[in-house]
Amino acid sequence: MGNEKAMLAAKSTIAKSVGNSNPLIDHHLGADPYALTYNGRVYIYMSSDNYEYNSNGTIKDNSFANLKSIFVISSEDMVNWTDHGAIPVAGANGLNGGQGIAKWAGNSWAPAAAVKNINGKDKFFLYFANGGAGIGVLTADSPIGPWSDPLGRALVTTNTPGMPGVVWLFDPAVFIDNDGTGYLYCGGGIPGDPRPTQAQQANPKTARVLRLGGDMISVVGSASTIDAPFMFEDSGMHKYNGVYYYSYCINFSGTHPSDKPAGEIGYMTSKSPMGPFTYAGHFLKNPGVFFRSGGNNHHCVFQFKNQWYVVYHAQTVSQALYGSGKGYRSPHINKLIHNSDGSIREVAADYAGVAQLSNLNPYQRVEAETIGWNGGILTERCYASGGPSYNQNVTGINNGDWIGLGNVDFGSQGARSFKANVASTSGGKIEVRLDSTSGTLVGTLTVPNTGGTQNWREVETSISGATGVHKLFFVFTGNGSGDLFKFDYWKFS
Per the CB < 8 A criterion, the answer to whether 149 and 138 are in contact is: yes
Q: What share of the chain is helix, strand, coil (3-state, %, to 5)?
A: 5, 45, 50
Handedness of CA 143, 148, 151, 152 (dihedral sign): positive
Positions annotated as catalytic residues are 32, 233
Q: In which element (H, E) is residue 291 found?
A: helix 287-291
Per the CB < 8 A criterion, the answer to whether 454 and 423 are in contact is: yes
What single-letter amino acid sits at 434?
Answer: L
Q: Is residue 296 left, alpha or beta, with left meaning phi > 0 and alpha meaning psi from -120 to 50?
A: beta
Per the CB < 8 A criterion, the answer to whether 78 and 407 are in contact is: no
Q: Parallel, antiparallel, or unpaired for β 265-270 and 243-250?
A: antiparallel
C-alpha 17/C-alpha 12 separation (Å) is: 9
Could you tell me the CA-to-CA distances from 405 to 263, 377, 383 in Å, in that order?
35, 14, 24
If we measure between CA atoms, which residue out of 376, 430, 436 comes closest to residue 13?
Answer: 376
Residues with Cβ within 8 Å of 363's Cβ and at least 6 positions away in sequence, in order, are 415, 491, 492, 493
Q: In which element (H, E) is residue 37 found?
A: strand 31-38
C-alpha 462/C-alpha 444 separation (Å) is: 8
